Amino acid sequence: MQIQFLGGAYTGRSSNVSSQQCVNYFYEKGVDSEALISTPGDTVFNSAYGGEVRGGINYNDLAYFVIGDKLVEFDSSGTGVSRGTLLTSNGRVGMAHNGVRTGATQEIMIGDGDQYYIYDNTTSTLTRYATAVGVPHFFDGYFFFASPGTDRIYNTNSYDGTTITGTDFVTAEGDPDELTAIIVEQRQVFALGKITLSAWYNSGDADTLLARFQGGYSQTGCVAEFSPARFDNSIIWLSQNERGNAQVVRLGSNLQPQIVSSPEINYQLSTYSKVTDAFAYVYQEEGHEFYVLTFPTDRKTWVFDASTEQWHERAHIIDGEVSRERYNCHVFAFGKHLMGDYANGKIYALDSTSGTANGARMPRIRVTGNHSNQEKRVALASVQLDMEEGVGDPNEDDTSIWLSYSKDGGHTFSSERGHSIGDKGDYALRVMWRRLGRARNWVFKIRTWSPNRIVLKGLIAREHGEPL
């Protein structure tokens, strides 16, 4: 009897209806089979600085991060050099650069609340300007930004982030709406208000640079400034409109948002005490493109996979508890996914061969769907976990995996029963638990702390009297 096992994280308002949980696994469907694959851990890229890693960018074959009040430049070896000091030391920053075009200025713009900074790459100097720019973006030779608290999108002078002319703006006036953020994708500017969306393009008019697409308008806005991201040749964000908020939407081909968060995900988001501080990043690895959305107040991280359109959770151990993931921002540089820690200033490199984050083991949990038979109580002689066995290190205590089960639809669970996944090379091992008893509403939970790469393929239950 095959138990509903593979898939995403879909715990809804009732475990009798939707009980699935998927923590630190992502679903992969190949040509011949499907499986749950353990998410990557990390190795330390640099640990010389302290404080919150507030944002980062890849520029001129170097990685730049704002760590505390410092702008730090990193080379491929992980060696850091401070390139200037900010007035603030916490809170997220937005970053954009204008390239390394010959004959033009070479700049990084850093948006930091009610001020912004320009790092001049040719003179290695950081200069502050007393203008609020939100999260900046760059395309077609100009920096663009939404002026916080207004409905205006400003642009700087060409290749010159130091100069902002007071008349160089357009107004997102389809509805009297305050802008939350803008994002640029495929040479289009998408203006995300609190309750509306409008799409703009470069008109070529020197006096009014941006023009709105005819029909490029929607009554769907954005609730969190740092949630929008480029994703799978489109954009994705945490939405809001005049009727409510906290659904994840993705822009469709007709410039209309499409909801990608399931009813179960939407229910989970509705229980959070704060969603306006949510932030996201996107990264691509091993054929998957992931939108990673963290809610720092409620200490939760949710991930949407473009290739499978499945959701899963990610979690790290923080202060001794299962919590959000540690990563506060992402930069792809030197062929590595570099992640900045929200608290300790460390920069990590994702490592799919590692099962630890910041040196701590990662909890990996899979809770199945509800296997129900209301006509009779089903007696189970055994449950076998179909997985890649024989991946443990015989010199380490890292081969344990635990099963617990619920007989009441996922409301309560039994004590855990351990089993070995096998030392390296023990490929013939079977991971099986016996004598589980009788129930009408079975739900199974599989948990491990093993730092090894884990691949789960399914869960098979055998009823009493059923042949082996």
Could you report the per-residue pLDDT of 272-323, keeping only the tens digit for each? Answer: 999 999 999 999 999 999 999 999 999 999 999 999 999 999 999 999 999 9
- Percent helix, strand and coil across the chain, each to the nearest 5: 0, 55, 45
Confidence of residue 237 (pLDDT cuts 50, 70, 90): very high
Among 1, 5, 2, smallest CA distance to 369 is for: 5
Confidence of residue 15 (pLDDT cuts 50, 70, 90): confident
Give the global pTM.
0.95
CATH at residue 7? 2.60.120.260
Two tokens at 378?
């089903």
Q: Which domain holds residue 422?
A: 2-39+365-463
In a domain, 388, yes or no: yes
pLDDT at 272: 96
> Does 91 have pLDDT greater than 90?
yes
Ramachandran category for residue 232: left, alpha or beta (phi over 0 → left; psi -120 to 50 → alpha): left
In a domain, 217, yes or no: no
> Does 395 have pLDDT greater than 70?
no
In a domain, 176, yes or no: no
Q: In Å, what is the CA distance from 35 to each residue of 28, 350, 429?
A: 5, 21, 18
In a domain, 129, yes or no: no
In a domain, 232, yes or no: no
Confidence of residue 396 (pLDDT cuts 50, 70, 90): low
Give how many domains the chain has, as a whole number: 1
In a domain, 441, yes or no: yes
Could you report the per-residue pLDDT of 413-459, keeping only the tens digit for each? Answer: 999 999 999 888 888 899 999 999 999 889 999 999 999 899 999 99
Q: 439 or 172: whose pLDDT is higher?
A: 439
In a domain, 325, yes or no: no
In a domain, 338, yes or no: no
φ, ψ of residue 266 in degrees (nearest 5): -60, -40
